[in-house]
Structure 1
Amino acid sequence: MAGHVSGAPNPLGREVTAVEDLPATAAETSAERPWPLRLLSAKMKDYIDRMSAVWIEGQIIELNHRGRASYLTLRDTDVEMSLPVQVWRNVLDACETPLEPGSRVVVQVKADFWAKTGRLSMRAGAIRAVGLGELLARIELLRRQLGQEGLFDPDRKQSLPFLPERIGLITGRNSDAEKDVIRNARLRWPAVEFDVRHTAVQGADAVPQITRALAELDADPAVDVIVIARGGGSLEDLLPFSNETLVRAAAQTATPLVSAIGHENDRPILDEVADLRASTPTDAAKRIVPDMAQEIAGIRQSRAALERAVTLFIDGELRRLAEVRSRPALAAPATQLDERERLVADLRDRSARAASTRLDAGAREIAHLRAQVIALSPQKTLERGYAVVTADDGRILRDADEARPGEGIGVRLARGRLTATITDTGNPDTGEPGTTTTTQEQ
């Protein structure tokens, strides 16, 4: 083992190792070759001392004065995260605006590590309250940015249901805003139901609580519309309703959203992205549910108007029906029917006579044509003593020269058929008959 830092043994009975024999980095340490605590503390202090000072923004939630030093706790304006900061009285006195819990500030802090006790603290080198003008400038910058992204476009806004059965209400506990919304809504429509979520409506806890409640109500299919309500307040009190995280969460809700923040002249960014902006919580109640008395009066007026219209229509139709019934065709309808009946009977008789006459003429014409056909038929010619002579191949012989002696011929008579063999041919013009040998066929 190398030389010692000192010759005294440590509590474990081992002598202190020289610094040059220790691992150079934390990654090289092991159970057999550890760093002494003083070395880790020295390295941590050296590293932290090299860190630059940084400006941070937050809200003071706690402020204690202890002699020359004061201790304040800063909380992030958007999430639940806090940091204790030590500030000397002279730094605190240099701040132009008196600070108190709830103030929004920017602080220049520098980390400080007390090696002897291993305690890390943040010390303030300068502190400045965030003024009203700066807050307004930040809000307007965010308003322009969100407007350019289209979050305020009218096409994105949803229509509120005519008669919501269940309303989700996000507001402060036991607040006047809650009472105004519920009382006025039930005065207008007693059957309406509410799902109330109590949250902080100002301060560092407001944004995460309202955002969480908004997500829960939006996920509930029984909720028809969501109202975020709060009474009036200073600009600082209404800052959560211009917070980018809350505004973007409101823009993504699928349930119609109503913003009822402050009074008529209060215009947080949430008003721009909501589907409906109400000037006050009372105005929100009047705009999300109809007035039952007005609706009943409207129904009565509509019913009376409908009854008048139906009565006028029926009276007009009765007059027109009376006019139609007074016409001759309807006053004595049998007259026209009798006339039509006589006309139909006459036409039927004429049609029967014409058909009979036409059938008789057709029958006579057919008989005449039949007689002509029969008289001119080959059968009648054969009955008069003529015959049809055909050769063996079926040809009809019209000239004796077409046949030769010894050939067979067929003779078609009026009744029956003869088969003959030609023995001789003659010329009828010379009066010399020919001879045949005949065989009779039935």
Structure 2
Amino acid sequence: MPIPAEHSHRFVYHFSHIDNLPGLLHLGLLAKNHAQFPRKHRSIAAEGIQDRRARMVVPCGPGGCVHDYVPLYFGSVSPMLLGVINAKNVDQYDILYFEFPIDLIERADAVFTGASANTMVPPAFYSEPEDLAKLDWAAIDSRKWGNPDDGFRHRRMAELLLHGQLPVAAATRCVVWNDAAKKRVEAIVGTNPFPRLDFQDPRNRPHWFTNFATGGSSSLVKGPKEIAGVFHAACGYVEEHAGSHTKTAKYKNLKHLLEGLRADFGCLPHTAELIGLRSENGMHRRTVDIHSKDVVEELLLLEEYAALGRKHQMLTEIAAYLHDIGKGPRARWDDNGGLQKVDPDHPVGAMPMMAQILTEHVATVTASSARTLLKLVCYHDLVGDVLGRGRDEQQIIDVADNVEELDMLFAIGKADVTALTPRWWDEESAERLYGRCVEAIKSASED
């Protein structure tokens, strides 16, 4: 049966990390179970759904299971990509979107679903193009980032599944983030056959999740490389400008800064901005200043804190006081009735503020102490995100230069989580994660 005329103009989409491009040029898109599927493939899929896809039976077409097929989405705006971005597992500019004509559905080895094939209860499977009429096209074509319910979100992610293999040259175009990404792709592709490189048309077929506050020029949430870039820039700034305000700085050193914070949370302009600042996030029932002091109180009670050396205790306590300054200034939220919106970038957003504090408000600070303090604030959410939000644990190993820094990251992460809701911190999972990180860090130091 031919594709219904009302759907014949459509495309289907597969996105992948640029690190996979050399393999894609050589072998094309491969099913997870394909004999040649590369071991070093950079997966951006949520690990929690892989077991379900490996077991989910495909009841029509060539049969087998979902992992026997190359997956493509009917919709260009993918809730899965949004989830990956919010987990801070990828930098969005590293994502390549391959657009294929919908007539791939006419292949004998093609099947498609009415919803994402990653749920406990399998979706409906189809093999006849006429059954495209059964899909929820209002959901698939939605350009909104949110979803009214979970069922709608899964119907948005209806999939076309192609058995075995699909050459990337069969795509009509490859959509890239910007001109810099285009140049990177061109350098890798060389003279190999490849679809036309293009940028998204946000009015026609949008793909990316961008930050409207920057005019759509940056990612909605910064990924690992962007975060690291901002962190290193802040470290460089402090190293260059430390001690430049010795005559005007309010605090002689970090010890005096901590004493000032203990006596008056609002002793810095950056912390004063947080006093009375309420959040529209229902999980944050207390104002940002009260939450920050709650985190300090939790930290001081932890065994993990007690096990730290005196200097590391000081740095971790200062970081606990300052960890949420990136949620300010208050003027950011004037258009939202003064309520602070959920801001996944607030840890990295604190870096310019931290650089200012360490150069203008503290007279003297060593480069090593500044770097550690910047790291604790920039990555205070890292351990909690790995345990509870699907963030890649390799990021902890990449961030912590030694076991001492790992100990501090776990201490501030645990204090931040338990200050909100103690039951969110899974001690057994945390201990296993800590053990794996220690082993990896020690192994790296021995190489």
TM (normalized to structure 1)? 0.25
* Structure with greater strand percent: 1
Give 1 or 2 for the bigger CA radius of gyration: 1
Kindly indicate whether structure 1 or structure 2 has the higher relative contact order, using CA contacts under 8 Å at least 6 residues apart.
2
